[in-house]
Amino acid sequence: MKKYLLLVPIILLHLVTACKREKITTKAEPEDPLSYDLSVWNTVDDGLNISFASTNIAYNKSLPPGKGLKENLRIRAWKGEEVHAKLLIWSKAETGRISIQTIKDPAVPAPGLSEAEHRIVRYVLADSFLNGCGSRDKDTIPSVISPDILSEENSFIPGEMECRPVWISLETASNCAPGIYRYNTELISPLDSLSISFEVEVLDRVLPPPRDWSFHLDLWQNPFAVARYNDVQLWSQEHWDLMLPLLEKLASAGQKCITTTVTDRP
């Protein structure tokens, strides 16, 4: 994997994303319950390795990525659209805390493009989907860890032999000038500094605001999970304050329904 030297110093919405940064940083990630042949890490270059990757692949935290990698990335967007990319960071040895920032190329003015937002992807404990939802015997279905939570942290400390996704989002204004724009993502750790760039091609098409979309989006909401995850009283003012940005995020994605929960039992 080619490494980029720094020369100058995902649409499923998760209702349990980081609303409070200090809350997220205190949550310990579960250990991977599966065993692997870790000798594959011997083929990985020393230091940090980075690459853009497919947003449609759930990458294994315990193994180096093997497919869907993209050294060069161009995202095509309509005016008024929110677009996303996935960056993978992996290393076979501990690197210390990694800080991340993404900035627009100052050589190409882009007044209609937002600053890029990146979120560290955190893993949660899950099991195999098998043939769908329903009753299952937890003793016969292996547990796995799955990338799920989009944290608002700007830095993280990876372990050795770990692959970590970073979700990158940006928005184009409805009056954004068509053209090709460039962003630079920089990673800095005590042992290494890297940079990788991507382009956004804004097309001369305008996406209407979400309230005008005819597509019927209905993602179920779980307000109980928001209160439990953030350790606040159910239906307290603090709970409502935590729910508001999540519901606004759903609305911006075109959500048409509000889940009315009449019992806390599924």
**Nearest CA to 222 among 239, 210, 237, 202?**
239
Domain boundaries, the chain: 21-206, 208-266
**What pLDDT, on a 0 to 100 scale, did the predictor assign at position 19?**
39
Which of 2.60.120.10, 3.40.50.2300, 2.60.40.10, 3.40.1360.10 is the CATH number of 21-206?
Answer: 2.60.40.10
**Nearest CA to 246 among 236, 258, 234?**
258
The Cα 139–Cα 64 span in angstroms is 29
Q: What pTM does this model have?
A: 0.82
CA distances (Å), origin 217, targets 20, 126, 144, 148:
27, 25, 29, 20
Edge-to-edge strand order for the sheet containing 98-104? Answer: 74-79, 193-206, 179-188, 98-104, 155-156
Report the DSSP pairing between strands 143-150 and 98-104. Answer: unpaired
**What pLDDT, on a 0 to 100 scale, did the predictor assign at position 6?**
31
**What pLDDT, on a 0 to 100 scale, did the predictor assign at position 198?**
96
**Helix (H), strand (E), coil (C) string for the chain:** CCCCECCCCCCCCCCCCCCCHHHHHCCCCCCCCCCCCHHHHHHCCCCCEEEEECCCCCCCCCCCCCCCEECCCEEEEEECCEEEEEEEEEECCCCCCEEEEEEECCCCCCCCECCCEEEEEEEEEEECCCCCCCCCCCCCCCEEEEEEEECCCCEECCCCCEEEEEEEEEEECCCCCCEEEEEEEEEECCCCEEEEEEEEEEEEEECCCHHHCCCCECCCCCHHHHHHHHCCCCCCHHHHHHHHHHHHHHHHCCECCCCCCCCCCC
Mean pLDDT by 10 residues, the chain (266 residues): 34 38 58 93 93 95 92 94 96 92 86 91 84 67 88 88 96 94 93 92 96 92 90 96 93 89 68
The Cα 202–Cα 113 span in angstroms is 9
CB 172 within 8 A of CB 83: yes
